[in-house]
A and B are shown apart, each in its own frame.
Chain A
Amino acid sequence: QVQLMESGGGLVKPGGSLRLSCAASGFTFTDYHMSWIRQAPGKGLEWLSSIPSTSTYTRYADSVKGRFTISRDNARNSLYLQMNSLRADDTAVYYCARGRYDGSADYWGQGTLVTVSP
Chain B
Amino acid sequence: DVVMTQSPLSLPVTLGQSASFSCRSSQSLVYSDGNTYLDWFQQRPGQSPRRLIYKVSTRDSGVPDRFSGSGSGTDFTLKISRVEAEDVGVYYCMQGTHWPYTFGQGTKLEIK
Point out residues on A near B: beta carbons under 8 Å: 44-47, 50, 59, 61-62, 95, 102-111
Contacts and interface: CB of A to CB of B under 8 A. Distances in A.
B79 interface: no
Contact of A103 (B48, B49, B97, B105): B97
B103 A45 contact: yes
A103 B96 contact: yes
B54 A59 contact: no
Contact of A109 (B41, B48, B105): B48
Contacts of A111: 48
26 contacts: A44-B92, A44-B103, A44-B104, A44-B105, A45-B41, A45-B103, A47-B94, A47-B101, A61-B100, A95-B48, A95-B49, A102-B96, A103-B97, A103-B101, A104-B39, A104-B96, A105-B41, A105-B51, A105-B94, A106-B51, A106-B54, A106-B60, A107-B51, A108-B48, A110-B48, A111-B48
Interface majority SS on B: helix, strand, loop or mixed? loop
A106 B106 CA distance: 18
Given A47-B102, A47-B103, A104 B54 contact: yes
Contact of B37 (A62, A103, A108, A109): A103
B66 interface: no
Contacts of B94: 45, 47, 105
Contact of A44 (B37, B54, B96, B106): B106
Contacts of B101: 47, 50, 103
Interface in B90-112: 92, 94, 96-97, 99-106
A89 to B, nearest CB: 16
Given A45-B92, A46-B103, 18 more contacts: A44-B92, A44-B103, A44-B104, A45-B106, A47-B100, A47-B102, A59-B100, A61-B100, A95-B48, A95-B49, A102-B96, A103-B101, A105-B41, A105-B51, A106-B51, A107-B51, A108-B49, A108-B50
